[in-house]
Structure 1
Amino acid sequence: MKKSGKIIITIFLLIGLALGALAVPYIYNFFQSLTPKESNHVNVYVNSTIYSSLSSEIDQFEEDIITQGYTVDLLNWSSNNAITLKNHLLNTTQEQKGLLGAIFIGDIPYVNYKNGTEIFACDLFFMDLDGVWIDLDQADGYYDDHTPGSGDLLPEIWVSRINSESIGGINHLNAYKSYFARNHAYRTDNLNRPHSQLVYIDDDWSSWTSEWLGDMTAYTNITSVSTNINTTASDYIKRLNQTYEFVHLFVHSYYYEHVFGPNGDSSEGSVNYTQISNTYTKPLFYNLYACSACNYVAQDNIGTHYLFSNNTLAVVGSTKTGGMTMNSYFYNPLNQGKVMGESFRLWFNNPLHGPKDSSSQGMCLLGDGLLTISM
């Protein structure tokens, strides 16, 4: 055989091997079932680029967590590899102290999941530690299948994020400092609200008002607004000046704004991220049934603007279309005094909209997962 022929064959073999490697799916699997064990331990991961600048705030946060009755490891985190992060979470669960949950401060790794045509950040990846996560096409870098394997689909831990980096035109360090100042104020009873909830239901969900209200089991003092002619952008934004502890909103949305009116046609106005930042919002907690509102990787997503506005401490929402349904599975634990993160984890155990349901896969918790509502 001529030398040129050998070279051509070698090239084809190398190309074939490369294509074969791409065709083999990447599988993340612990190969062992994990049973969540009682733990009072949390890991706090702080991006290394902001750790030293927030040392006073982080030290106070650590002290507050210990005062609350938990043990904590503070981690000056520099890796941008999501697998490295997940392995660290997994390894902590195998230690005697176990792991209840984790708080990510600053720009901490995330993964994208692909379901049909939707690609979205998926924090369930870090919460379910014994399921199988499969990237069928390594060329795109998205996970696109989630199976039980020898474990299950349910989360063993919770995670929450405190990250201002997606907000444009602000001093991010000041945003973190303001957040941790009010976090400490809430923990020391210097920031509080009456035990009350606003449930604001726009047109396309108003016919199920009684069902939604039946799921709001953490509160008895509830203000419900669901009459179609009353649920408007201007009315909603005015109500954020009132001292509710918790707001649960049902409205059509994009990642950067809420749109009010039937079918999300914005005939009754819109509320964008700038309005949230420029309004003196008084509520402390939000649950946004608002498509993509908590897509925390998108520039100026409205969920992050809620979190860093004035008095907010935590926001529940989705990085994709959908939002939280069967809400009693979230509010019942809150009503029992469980922390926000654990209530969020337990919500995934609901029978109809658990981790395999597409509307649940983008659910995330922004803020401090160790907070509780007033009782």
Structure 2
Amino acid sequence: MNKQTTVLITLTFITAYFTTVHSDPSDRLKRSYDPKTVKVTRWLDTTTRPITYEEYIKSRDFAPSPNIRQLRSPLVTTDGVIDIIVNEDLYVHIEDILDTFIIDLQIEGYDINLYTALETSSPVSLRELLRDDLFNLDIVGVIFIGDLAVPWYEMDEPDSWGGQHVEFPCDLYFMDLDGVWGDSDLDGMFDSHTGNLLADIWTGRLVASPMHYYGDTEISIISNYLRKNHNYRYGNLRLDDHALAFIDNDWNMYGWGYDVALAYPDMDSVVDIYETCRDNYIHYLRELSDNRYEHLLICSHSSPFAHYLYYDEYNWQRFYNYEIEYFMMQALSYNLFACSNSRYVEIDNMGGWYIFETNYGLLSVGSTKTGSMLCFDTFYWPLGEGASFGEAFLFWAQVNMETCAGNESRSWFYGMCIQGDPTLKLARFQEPLTYCSYVPGDINGDSTVSGNDVVYGVRYFKGLGMPPVDSCWDDSLSVWLYVTGDANGNCRFTGADVSYMVGYFKGYNPDILYCPRLPPYSAPGRPAVLDREKPVQILR
């Protein structure tokens, strides 16, 4: 969407937000805490430290150019176009399960731009691609899958934080596509952000190559994630409509559980300084306890490798990254108010493990640096109104990224990112999907595609024959569609589809298409794809 459209949508959300949550806009300034006075999250473990930009660059085997290739372009859409960019080497190994993911998104009304690219040191080419797609196709977001270019930012922290120089991944670079990003010392890291600062799109990442525990491969981890995602969309992976706010000592006075309740009215808070300990964290979240929380807000001093959970006023114990899988932590989405927990360039980072756990976990929101989310109400309220996580995160970023914590806002928020699929919604708004069973082009319903189907279609439009056999309900338009006859895939059945079929049999059109909102289904979990490599029976 263009910047004007983004501003209008933001103003609409803000108006609704103040009307619904704060009848008097000044109430927003009357939170039970002042964000500018909140104690910052800290990396307490002196035995580990963040990887530097120089170390990261030396550790990667970058391609000289991204070699961006477009594999799929948008057809029709109701809810917006999404760019999906996949590492070229990974793509060939996950193509089938990725097709299922794309079809699921199409059923929900999205249209997909699918690209492959190689990992490069510079993110500029990917941002130029997104910027072009924003202004030409009104994309609403992007999902990066696999190892791709990472934008880095450097800054000096506020004096009140210690004044350290920090370097960190900054996905905001891919969200604000018409701001001006500068690198004054030409060291490869951005160090200024000026111009129009409003974020335009949401972003999400699935980066599994740093996940080394338990011996799984990047291919198996991504594939398992996409299977979980598919099961969630079909209603087969669900927990209770219930959330937990687990808030350690330094922030237990702020009442952030009330913000979570804007999305989850049924929620529990653990805030007592003797209760927010490691053992209780495990007890509340592990599968064995079966508390079935769909969402968790965890507030804890942390690193990418551990939470440092206090068991009294002065002493803490670690909850480690590998324990997420070991204890089968049972939640589907996480808000990680936890220093550097989402630093996805680090080996076995916790933001990654929370979504790549075998049985649970679909999305985590957190920071790649010291700091985390504040002004939580502008994130949880849209979720509670049915927005996707990406939409809620974008709204939060537009309202708060430069202002929520005053002069310290950039230090708090420039590392914020989503790991996982931002199109997901709370389960009560994520209606289980259904596929429609049919063979594209099989107008007469005899399970084959032949010239007889063209004759059948001609007779129908001349008023001499019956309509096509298979119809499916299109929620987007509230109509029944003769899906078998929609050979050109524009979600209508007209004479143009018969002409398209003729072109197909003459070799002019390479494939018989289908309405992307109503894809065919051949077996549980396996959407049918009609092409020359995987054909149904075609009789010429």
- TM bracket, shorter-chain basis: 0.7 to 0.9
Q: Does structure 2 retain, via aligned residues, the 8 Å contact 1:339–1:372?
A: yes
Identity %: 33
- Give the secondary structure class of the aligned counterpart of 1:359: helix
Preserved CA contact (<8 Å) 2:274 2:312: no
Structure 1: any 5+ residue segments left out of the alignment? 1-32
Aligned with 2:146 (options 95, 106, 109): 106
SS of structure 2 residue aligned to 1:287: strand
Distance 2:294 2:119 in 1: 36
Q: Name the SS for the 1:88 alignment partner.
A: helix
Change in Cα spacing, 1:57 to 1:358, as seen in structure 2 (3 Å) is same
- Find the aligned partners of 1:205 and 1:41 in 2 and give their Cα distance: 39
Separation in 1 of the partners of 2:371 and 2:313? 14
1:24-63 correspondence to structure 2 within 5 Å: 34-36=3-5, 40-63=80-103
Question: Is 1:316 equivalent to 2:365 in the alignment?
Answer: yes
* Residue in structure 2 matched with residue 27 of structure 1 by the alignment: none
Match of 1:162 among 194, 206, 211: 206
Q: Do the aligned partners of 1:253 and 1:264 also contact (CA within 8 Å) in 2?
A: no
- 1:142 corresponds in structure 2 to 189
Match of 2:243 in 1: 197
What are the Cα deviations for residues 174-223 of structure 1, in whole angstroms up to 9, with x where unaligned? 11111111100000111111111000000111122x2x122221011111
1:235 aligns with 280
Alignment of 1:111-190 (within 5 A): 111-116=151-156, 117-138=165-186, 140-148=187-195, 152-168=196-212, 169-190=215-236
Query: Residues 353 and 359 of structure 1 are in contact (CA less than 8 Å); yes or no, is this contact kept in structure 2?
Result: no
C-alpha contact (below 8 Å) 2:389/2:424 kept by paired residues: yes
Instruction: Name the TM-score, length of structure 1 as normaliser.
Output: 0.86
Aligned residues, how many? 335
| Aligned-residue offset at 1:353 | 2.4
**Aligned with 2:266 (options 221, 224, 231):** 221
Q: Give SS of 2:399's match.
A: coil
1:93 to 128, 134, 150: 134
In structure 2, give the amino acid aligned to 1:294: S
The one of the two structures with greater contact order (alpha-carbon pairs below 8 A, sep at least 6) is: 1
State whether residues 276 and 311 of structure 2, in contact with CA within 8 Å, keep that contact through their aligned partners in structure 1. no
- What letter matches 1:192 in structure 2? R
Deviations 1:324-370 (A, max 9, x none): 11111111111111111111111012353289531010000000011
Per the alignment, residue 337 of structure 2 pairs with 289
The residue type paired with residue 175 of structure 1 is I
Larger CA Rg, structure 1 vs 2: 2
Q: Does 1:369 align with 2:422?
A: yes
The CA distance in 1 between the partners of 2:5 and 2:411, in whole Å, is 24
Q: TM-score, normalised by structure 2?
A: 0.60
Structure 1 position 262, deviation (Å): 8.0
Shift of 1:263: 10
The amino acid across from 2:375 in the alignment is: M
Distance change (3 Å), C-alpha of 1:263 and 1:73:
farther
Identify unmatched segments of 5+ residues in structure 2. Answer: 10-78, 157-164, 429-540
**Alpha-carbon deviation of 1:285?**
0.3
Aligned-residue offset at 1:268 = 3.5
